[in-house]
Chain A
Amino acid sequence: MKKLVLALLTLGLVLSTAACSSKPAGNTGGTSGGTHTIRVLNYESKSATVLMEYVVQQWEELFGDYPVEFVIDTLPFAEKLQKCTEGDFEISFSGWSPDYAWPTTFLNMWTIGSEYNEVGYASEEYTKLVDGTDKDPAQAFADLQAAEKVLLEDGILIPVYQRGGTMVQSPDVKGIIKHSIGFDYSYKWATKADGSMINLLETEKMPSLDAMLATDAVSFLNLGNLSEGLLIPGEAEGSVLPGVASDWNFDEATMTWTFNLRPEASWINSKGEVVRPVSAEDFEYAWNRVFADDSIAQYKFMKDTAKIVEYGAKDDHTFTVTVSENVPYFESLMSFGTFLPVPVEFVEEKGATYGTTLDTFLSNGPFYLSKWDHSSEVIWSKNENYWDADVVQIPGVTYRVIEQYDPATGVALFNDGAIDRVGLTGEFVDQFKDDPRVWKFTEASTFYFMINVGNANGVLEAYDAENGGNPLLDNVNVRKALALAFDKAFIAYELDKNGNIPADYFVPSAFSTYEGEPFEAARGEGYMHYNTEEALKYWEAGMAELGIEKK
């Protein structure tokens, strides 16, 4: 009896604590005793914490004459995400990576009505520049470049860096292609000096090999090498090479793409045996699955992105896609995981278990899945029945899974020769500084501060243009001041040293081009470059407008 009472008391205590602690951090823009607060939301990560403290310190130093204090709130990632969606933040440090090779994947986050518009930015001008239809492609591209300028000069986003990384790789291994969009690496053309398996480390379990459910990097990486769509990504960002389709063409009159599939492309089981040839029906069935109204596929919006009107299998080896508009990145999209085929009768047979284990998946790419032990290892073996098997020069790739991974373990394994490549962070970058095996890469992802100017009730509600939450941040001069007040080069080159590059822009460099002109051509050095004098001037103007006097 006593124990039961004790247990119930504990339960009551726990529930009341939970109830009390779930009060929102509050869009207060509060004042207390004359001091104004600006809250900055961050997620739990060592590098983000260090960065945030540096930036806030710069802000406080520069604007210290005014009664404004900055408070950093650090939350676990999932919780922070929820707060951002609900509009329960003032400034948030976030990042974004592209889904396809066109600037709209970044820029259409902030248009009126976008479900990603967590800052509630309600600018007709910006929306028209990004969304406007009936433009000729050259004008559309120029408008996108102008849109970035508007966004940043309005101080809605304060970009900090474009992400990069450092790897150390065994000199015996060559030919691995890195992608910024879609899946991270292609191993089709990889080579290893002694002709043995390439050994690598993976730091997450693989959640699913069902392209419809796949949302994470590991699933896509595997899908990208074990499966093949109509086209496959080439080495240059946004370029494509033949995949299951041996050739393809576009007919302007009917606005239809026709893909001719090679008859030798086949589905392979986990023993490397051919099950049957890949057919156009496999594509049609897969796409129906992803784009169905009740589908929970994260990327089902890609049907609209590609401007697809209808599609179908004309016969076993011909697949057609009709579009309402021929977007320049259509082919790049066809190499993306969402558009992969699935073996029809196999998927129907396996139902909800499709893509969860070794025996519930079929490959059709340069490698096939030969081992999938969820807790320890994934092995790809060379697909001898692949149409381009002559090009594949390694017997396969082994991914050893170590979750909750410590970089020290990875480096030790690399030094042992147990793995052929490892990512370097923090002090390990210094350790390998002069090592010729190190290579740095830049990804097409940017990290930035976003300032809530109109999201008071969540992205699905109407924006509250008058009240984003903090009246200080509603003032454009204050936002500009914050943007100009800290040194991004210091952050990228001194604080982190991971290989990030400082960014005065939002759409990454070396990411998209139109008719040979890179997107970044229009912006020179970027926008809102570090300048403490200008920052102070904007700040003082903003303070004057808000009626806040020096301390």
Chain B
Amino acid sequence: MFKYVLKRIGQMLITLFLIMTILFLLLKITPGSPFSNPKITPTLRAQLEEKYGLDKPILTQYGMYLSNVLQGDLGESIVMIKNYPVKDMVAEPLAITIKLGVISLFVGSAIGIFLGALAALNRNRFWDYFNTIIAVVGVSVPAFVVAMVLLILRQDYFPFIPLIFSKADPIKGVTALDELVSLTLPVVSLSFGVIASISRYMRTELVEVYNTDYILLARAKGLNKRQVFTRHAFRNALVPIITVMGPMVVALMTGSVVVEKFFGVPGLSQLTIKSINVKDTFVTLASELLYSLMFVVTMLIVDLLYGVIDPRIRLSGGDKK
């Protein structure tokens, strides 16, 4: 098990290194300069590029960047906040995006699992149809439409729900609870998609589990419906869900761009998009690396969890390759 984890961490590092390299080269090859203010004359632009080392050959710049990263220096922002360390710039947005993603995942999963189970236990009756509708709508409707609808509904029916995100600030009297409450609308927007897919997965898995021999045996042994569900069916159906939740976490974090925009959440998504637009390369690299890191770590955790939950995997060595 330990060797497996070590091997996976090694693979992670190689993956991150490759991503960083490819991304760096891609960003440097694309046209456009961080100094894209029409008032900057070509002479001044050349001076600025020299100052920030942008006139050096790409490979030299890459070498400098790599050696800095290995020493823990992610560089400084050139455009968005001049001379400000990138590390400090991404820290807070990262925390907010993770918070938003994780809360949306839990809320969405809880509701999705519940609805999916309800659908499976009431096959071809009301809850099943309800679940199908939710799933189709959730998967088809884009996040920004959900966000806009929420904005309109809120204005007319729920004006007491905060419109935009407020950061906890003891001086202004905004508590951590207030901050959480201000995440209501973003969480609702994001969890819509989660509910849709998780509920479908849950329903499908549960139906499949109910068709297995061991469930038949459990009923034959004399367990009632509730016991069968809680002791056997539910847990077995959950296992594949956990695999799905892994990539869903990252999809939530990357897909939250629209939600961040509408509800003023200063998360990592909008920082990344902005930095790409203004060609603040170090910021883009740092945030993309963070996304990649979150993805590979999440996959590792999911794989390990899978091994912990399902003894069949654990016994066969853990390595599914």
By CB atoms of chain B within 10 A, which of A376, A405, A408 has the most? A376
Question: Is B264 in contact with A400, judged by CB distance below 8 angstroms?
Answer: yes
Complex interface bits, A3-18 against B, C-beta within 8 A gives 1, otherwise 0: 1000100110011001
Q: How far, in whole Å, are A492 and B81 apart by their CA atoms in the complex?
A: 35
Q: Which of A205, A296, A357 contacts B80 (CB 8 A)?
A: A205
The residue on A at minimum CB distance from B46 is A460
Question: Is B25 in contact with A412, judged by CB distance below 8 angstroms?
Answer: no
Provide 13 A-B residue pairs closer than 8 Å at the C-beta atoms, listed in order of the A residue: A78-B34, A79-B31, A99-B39, A116-B38, A207-B81, A208-B81, A356-B82, A373-B167, A375-B167, A403-B271, A406-B262, A412-B163, A415-B155
**Interface segment, one of B202-210, B242-250, B273-281:** B273-281
Question: Is A409 in contact with B80, judged by CB distance below 8 angstroms?
Answer: no
Interface: A353 (CB within 8 A): yes
Which B residues are within 8 Å of any A CB, using their own CB?
Answer: 11, 18, 21-22, 25-26, 29-34, 36-44, 47-48, 51, 79-84, 89, 92-93, 148, 151, 155, 159, 163-164, 167, 257, 260-264, 266, 270-271, 273-274, 277-279
Question: Is A207 in contact with B39, judged by CB distance below 8 angstroms?
Answer: no
The residue on B at minimum CB distance from A413 is B163
Question: Is B155 in contact with A76, judged by CB distance below 8 angstroms?
Answer: no
Question: Is A298 in contact with B40, judged by CB distance below 8 angstroms?
Answer: yes
Q: How far, in whole Å, are A408 and B261 apart by their CA atoms in the complex?
A: 10
Q: Which residues in chain A, 78-95, are within 8 Å of chain B measured between CB atoms? A: 78-79, 81-82, 85, 94
B88 to chain A, nearest CB (A): 9
Chain B residues with CB under 8 Å of A205's CB are 80-81
Chain B residues with CB under 8 Å of A96's CB are 38
Q: Which of B42, B89, B260 contacts A404 (CB 8 A)?
A: B260
Interface: A198 (CB within 8 A): no
Q: Which of B36, B47, B89 contacts A81 (CB 8 A)?
A: B36
The residue on A at minimum CB distance from B34 is A78
Closest 8 CB pairs of A and B: A78-B32, A375-B266, A78-B36, A115-B41, A402-B264, A208-B82, A18-B29, A404-B261
Chain A residues with CB under 8 Å of B81's CB are 205-208, 356, 374
Question: Is A412 in contact with B264, judged by CB distance below 8 angstroms?
Answer: no
Question: Is B33 in contact with A376, judged by CB distance below 8 angstroms?
Answer: no
Question: Is A458 in contact with B159, judged by CB distance below 8 angstroms?
Answer: no
The residue on B at minimum CB distance from A208 is B82
Chain A residues with CB under 8 Å of B37's CB are 215-216, 298
Question: Is B151 in contact with A412, judged by CB distance below 8 angstroms?
Answer: yes
Interface: A213 (CB within 8 A): yes
The residue on A at minimum CB distance from B277 is A76
Q: How far, in whole Å, are A149 and B261 apart by their CA atoms in the complex?
A: 45
Interface: A352 (CB within 8 A): yes
Q: Which of B29, B82, B92 contacts A375 (CB 8 A)?
A: B92
Additional pairs, 15, CB under 8 Å, beyond known A79-B31, A96-B38, A400-B264: A11-B22, A79-B32, A81-B36, A206-B81, A301-B41, A357-B84, A375-B266, A375-B271, A403-B266, A406-B262, A408-B148, A409-B163, A418-B163, A458-B42, A459-B42
Q: How far, in whole Å, are A412 and B158 apart by their CA atoms in the complex?
A: 13
* A406-B39 contact in complex given A78-B33, A207-B82, A356-B84, C-beta closer than 8 Å: no
Q: Which of A10, A85, A208, A375 contacts B83 (CB 8 A)?
A: A208
Complex interface bits, A352-389 against B, C-beta within 8 A gives 1, otherwise 0: 11011100000000000000011111000000000000
Q: How far, in whole Å, are A204 and B164 apart by their CA atoms in the complex?
A: 16
Interface: A416 (CB within 8 A): yes
Chain B residues with CB under 8 Å of A79's CB are 31-32
- Interface size of A by Cβ–Cβ distance < 8 Å? 60
Question: Is A406 in contact with B261, judged by CB distance below 8 angstroms?
Answer: yes
A1 to chain B, nearest CB (A): 12
A414 to chain B, nearest CB (A): 11
Chain B residues with CB under 8 Å of A376's CB are 167, 266
Which A residues are within 8 Å of any B CB, using their own CB?
Answer: 3, 7, 10-11, 14-15, 18-19, 22, 76-79, 81-82, 85, 94, 96, 99, 115-116, 205-208, 210, 213, 215-216, 294, 296, 298, 301, 352-353, 355-357, 373-377, 400-406, 408-409, 412-413, 415-416, 418, 458-460
Chain B residues with CB under 8 Å of A409's CB are 151, 163-164, 261-264
Q: How far, in whole Å, are A82 and B279 apart by their CA atoms in the complex?
A: 13
Question: Is B82 in contact with A210, judged by CB distance below 8 angstroms?
Answer: yes
The residue on A at minimum CB distance from B280 is A207
Chain B residues with CB under 8 Å of A22's CB are 29, 31
Q: How far, in whole Å, are A401 and B163 apart by their CA atoms in the complex?
A: 14
Chain B residues with CB under 8 Å of A418's CB are 163-164
Question: Is A76 in contact with B32, judged by CB distance below 8 angstroms?
Answer: yes
* A78-B266 contact in complex given A374-B81, A406-B261, C-beta closer than 8 Å: no
* A215-B40 contact in complex given A15-B25, A205-B80, A207-B79, C-beta closer than 8 Å: yes
The residue on A at minimum CB distance from B270 is A404
Chain A residues with CB under 8 Å of B80's CB are 205, 207
Chain A residues with CB under 8 Å of B44's CB are 296, 298
A222 to chain B, nearest CB (A): 13
Question: Is B270 in contact with A412, judged by CB distance below 8 angstroms?
Answer: no
Q: How far, in whole Å, are A341 and B283 apart by their CA atoms in the complex?
A: 31
Chain B residues with CB under 8 Å of A412's CB are 151, 155, 163
Q: How far, in whole Å, are A85 and B44 apart by their CA atoms in the complex?
A: 13
Question: Is A81 in contact with B18, judged by CB distance below 8 angstroms?
Answer: no
Chain A residues with CB under 8 Å of B277's CB are 76-78
Question: Is A403 in contact with B279, judged by CB distance below 8 angstroms?
Answer: no
Question: Is B22 in contact with A10, judged by CB distance below 8 angstroms?
Answer: yes
Question: Is A356 in contact with B32, judged by CB distance below 8 angstroms?
Answer: no
Chain B residues with CB under 8 Å of A215's CB are 37, 39-40
Chain B residues with CB under 8 Å of A115's CB are 41-43
B287 to chain A, nearest CB (A): 13
A191 to chain B, nearest CB (A): 23
Q: How far, in whole Å, are A96 and B37 apart by their CA atoms in the complex?
A: 11
Question: Is A408 in contact with B163, judged by CB distance below 8 angstroms?
Answer: no
Chain A residues with CB under 8 Å of B83's CB are 208, 213, 352-353, 356
A14 to chain B, nearest CB (A): 6
Chain B residues with CB under 8 Å of A374's CB are 81, 84, 89
Question: Is B36 in contact with A408, judged by CB distance below 8 angstroms?
Answer: no
Q: How far, in whole Å, are A116 and B39 apart by their CA atoms in the complex?
A: 8
Chain A residues with CB under 8 Å of B278's CB are 78
Chain B residues with CB under 8 Å of A18's CB are 26, 29-30
Q: How far, in whole Å, are A19 and B42 apart by their CA atoms in the complex?
A: 24
Question: Is A460 in contact with B42, judged by CB distance below 8 angstroms?
Answer: yes
A329 to chain B, nearest CB (A): 17
The residue on B at minimum CB distance from A24 is B31
Chain B residues with CB under 8 Å of A301's CB are 41
B120 to chain A, nearest CB (A): 38
The residue on A at minimum CB distance from B265 is A402
Chain B residues with CB under 8 Å of A406's CB are 261-262
B173 to chain A, nearest CB (A): 14
By CB atoms of chain A within 10 A, which of B41, B43, B83, B271 has the most? B83
B298 to chain A, nearest CB (A): 19
